[in-house]
A and B are shown apart, each in its own frame.
Chain A
Amino acid sequence: MSKKNAAKDLFDAELFISSSLRTGVYLSAMVVVIGLLLYFAIGQSGYQSGEFPTTIGMVLAGILRFKPASIISLGLLLLIATPVFRVAASVLMFVLEKDYVYTIITLFVLCILIISFFLGKAL
């Protein structure tokens, strides 16, 4: 690969990663805003004071009943997922660029992330 080509690919890569982050950030911010506005409008979170959903199942169940706290939690979960989504998008990008060293590096990071999610459940 010529030097010029490498520079061009990297530029595209940066735009790609930037927009994958922007998608995650805007989407999650929008959901949090909706949840907060609903909370201020009806004046209650949908749960007893000091309680809120702590699993994805509880969040989804709460959303079906338009509970403000679970809508905000969904937004926060989307925000938490954004960096993971960014790493996954980078794996794809390095594969498309045929940059195998970095494909392995990012895949490794993605694996560790997934392992740590499971470790978290066990802890």
Chain B
Amino acid sequence: MSTGLSVVVFAFSLFAGFLGSLLGLGGGIIIIPALTLALGVRIHEAIGASIVSVIATSSGAAIAYVRDKITNIRIGMFLETATTLGAITGAFIAGLISTRLLSIIFGLLLLYSAFTMFKKRYSDLPTNVKTHPLAERLHLNSEYYDNALHQNVKYQVTGIYPGYAVMYGAGVISGLLGIGSGVFKVLGMDVFMKLPMKVSTATSNFMIGVTAAASAGVYFSRGDIDPLVAGPVALGVLLGARIGTKVMERLKSKTLRFIFIPVLIYIALEMLWKAR
């Protein structure tokens, strides 16, 4: 790969890291098509690079989000038990279950969630949330300082069981299909557990790195992580994520949701399109 090409890879990775850190996604939706369609990189190496991109977005963004307490580390750790178990299940049942059926189910779930999110597009913070007893026991309720609202935001956590189930599903999907788990994590927290949008995307960001790391070893030993492709991707994404965190902390949850909804619809349609 030439110097010029590496600069191009670096540039769109910067954008992928930026968007991923805002929305709690790994950036695969940008990295994979950009590498395969625009640069002619083989699909396996593009997926390998996107796994690296997920880890880079997650770790790069979490440095700031965790420090500034926007990430709820307890919720993250608790839900990681579901996503990692799901990822292992996914690896086991690959071949036993129709990925087509799963893609349809989850594609429809995404569309439904996009609709739910659209309905509450004007509300900034969740209101009247009744704490789940388990949230109390696990100390999941918390607060953060919102740089856009200039106030401390206290929040309660509800819907633990459906949230946990969605996380498990997100893990299965990422174990089976290798991608797209960030979007379900954000949804699980936003739609079911009723967390503020910023906390949802930051906590999703925190978690996706762990899920991706679980499968990265496989991709590495399989020869899918080409250093000349994944190296520039990693650097671009890390820098993009650092910039993204600075912007996200100043955005309102409402704005974040506005950016999230079209991305959500795009991913939903892509899943349904692939299952056709």
Contacts and interface: CB of A to CB of B under 8 A. Distances in A.
B63 A112 contact: no
Given A18-B63, A22-B63, A75-B231, A83 B220 contact: no
Contacts of A35: 227, 231
Contact of B62 (A18, A36, A109): A18
B88 A121 contact: no
Q: SS class of chain B's interface: helix, strand, loop or mixed?
A: helix
A69 B200 CA distance: 37
B55 A83 contact: yes
A17 B78 CA distance: 16
Contacts of A13: 73
Contacts of B225: 73, 76
Q: SS class of chain A's interface: helix, strand, loop or mixed?
A: helix
A120 B190 CA distance: 32
The interface centre, meaning the residue of B3, B88, B227 with most chain A CB atoms within 10 A of its CB, is: B227
A14 B62 contact: no
B189 to A, nearest CB: 17
Interface residues of B, number: 51
Nearest to B67: A18
A42 interface: no
A13 B139 CA distance: 14
Contacts of B80: 87, 109
Contacts of B113: none
A82 to B, nearest CB: 5
Given A87-B210, A113-B213, A14 B69 contact: yes
A40 B3 contact: yes
B221 A120 contact: yes
B65 to A, nearest CB: 8
Contact of B63 (A25, A76, A77, A105): A25
Interface string A52-94: 1111000000000000011011011101111110110010000
B223 A117 contact: no
A80 B58 CA distance: 11
Nearest to A40: B3
B269 interface: no
A105 B6 CA distance: 41
23 contacts: A18-B63, A21-B59, A29-B235, A33-B235, A35-B227, A45-B227, A54-B223, A72-B231, A73-B225, A76-B230, A79-B52, A80-B52, A80-B213, A80-B220, A82-B209, A83-B58, A101-B138, A105-B77, A105-B78, A109-B81, A109-B210, A112-B88, A116-B88
Interface of A: 6, 10-11, 13-15, 17-18, 21-22, 24-25, 28-29, 32-33, 35-36, 39-40, 45, 52-55, 69-70, 72-73, 75-77, 79-84, 86-87, 90, 101-102, 105-106, 108-109, 112-113, 115-117, 119-121, 123
